[in-house]
Amino acid sequence: MVQIDAGHFSLNASVELSEALAKPASYKLMYFQMLSNGATGRDLLAFGGVDWSSVAPANWNAEKGQTPFHLMPLLFITGENGKTATLAETVVIEYYLAKKFGLLGTNEYEESVIKMLHSSSAAVQNAFAGAVTWNAPEAKAGGLGFFTTATLPTWIATHERHLNDNGNNGHYLGDKLSLADIRTANAIEHFATQPESAALMAIVNKSLPLIKLRETVAKHPKMVQWRSGNEYKGYYEGNIAFFADPFAFMS
């Protein structure tokens, strides 16, 4: 359930809400009980080791009007000052958390590179959603064909180049986990939990650099701790169940 009516921004409280964003005490991430666009935000919170929890809507159709864009994920950030700021839009949520937890490199250029890679991996997942998941039944096969022969191979080839440039150590930048590593790994987890996963993963799994990156993220001690728990496993299974028939869930 939405804890507060977050449909309206609270611009006349912007000073106090900026303080809450600067000095957060606890976090609540609201999303469906699946991975998809909530996965990276939860991974970041788990990595941060902060006071956080996940919430799901009890009745999304009844509650979505209380959100800024009738969309999730949302991140509720309660500051040390007791005020709660709401962030919407995955890119805003993920940049905020990544900055907080030191996952954006050590200078402005590194931060820009990490954000470019992050954006590219969010885009390939969105492209799949448009071409296949939410496409009309009669157009899905064609959409999948274009995705697997053009969009996905281009994404893989370009990201392999950047991973090769860094010595193929499972990271894009140096030997440190970054927002880009986590976001790309989650694009792969998304592909691995789709009805079309056999076709998608046959292609992804030919890329040694991407396999290495996916494994490196999954083996990070903080990720092992979080992803081996029942909550994460529930989201993983939830992803498979949702995307088996996405229109049924949204009706």
Block residue for tokens 């290495």 = 212
Backbone angles phi, psi at 73, to 5 degrees: -75, 160
Yes or no: say if 166 and 174 are a contact pair by the CB < 8 Å rule: yes
Distance between CA atoms of residues 114 and 178, nearest Å: 7
Q: Is 14 in the site for a copy of itself (CB under 8 A)?
A: yes
> CB of 29: closest distance to a copy of itself in angstroms?
15
Q: Which residues share a beta bridge with 86?
A: 76
Restricting to residues 115-154, which ones interact with a copy of itself according to CB under 8 A? 115-116, 119-120, 123, 126-127, 129-131, 134-136, 138-139, 142-143, 154
Block residue for tokens 């009890």 = 58
Name the nearest CA neighbour of 217 among 249, 146, 169: 169
DSSP assignment letter at 83: -
Which one of 27-35, 53-61, 107-115, 181-189 is the stretch in contact with a copy of itself (CB under 8 A)? 107-115
Selected from 7, 50, 197, 211, the binder of a copy of itself by CB under 8 A is 7
The alpha carbon of residue 105 and the mean position of all alpha carbons in its chain are separated, in whole angstroms, by 19
DSSP assignment letter at 55: E
Listed in sequence order, the DSSP H helices in 23-71 are 39-48, 60-63
Selected from 18, 169, 205, 228, the binder of a copy of itself by CB under 8 A is 18
Selected from 31, 47, 96, 232, the binder of a copy of itself by CB under 8 A is 96
Selected from 58, 59, 82, 107, the binder of a copy of itself by CB under 8 A is 107
Listed in sequence order, the DSSP H helices in the chain are 14-22, 39-48, 60-63, 90-100, 108-128, 140-146, 152-165, 179-192, 197-204, 208-219, 221-227, 230-244, 246-250
> CB of 123: closest distance to a copy of itself in angstroms?
8
Q: Is 62 in the site for a copy of itself (CB under 8 A)?
A: no
Q: Is 66 in the site for a copy of itself (CB under 8 A)?
A: no
N-term to C-term CA, the chain? 19
Which one of 42-50, 54-62, 161-169, 197-205 is the stretch in contact with a copy of itself (CB under 8 A)? 161-169
Q: Which residue, 168 or 228, is less far from a copy of itself as judged by CB?
A: 168
Q: Which residue, 178 or 238, is less far from a copy of itself as judged by CB?
A: 178
Backbone angles phi, psi at 51, to 5 degrees: -80, 105
> CB of 121: closest distance to a copy of itself in angstroms?
10
Which one of 52-60, 68-76, 210-218, 233-241 is the stretch in contact with a copy of itself (CB under 8 A)? 68-76
The contact set with a copy of itself (CB under 8 A) reads 7-9, 11, 13-15, 17-18, 21-22, 68-71, 85, 87-89, 91-92, 96, 105-110, 112-113, 115-116, 119-120, 123, 126-127, 129-131, 134-136, 138-139, 142-143, 154-155, 157-158, 161-162, 165-166, 173-174
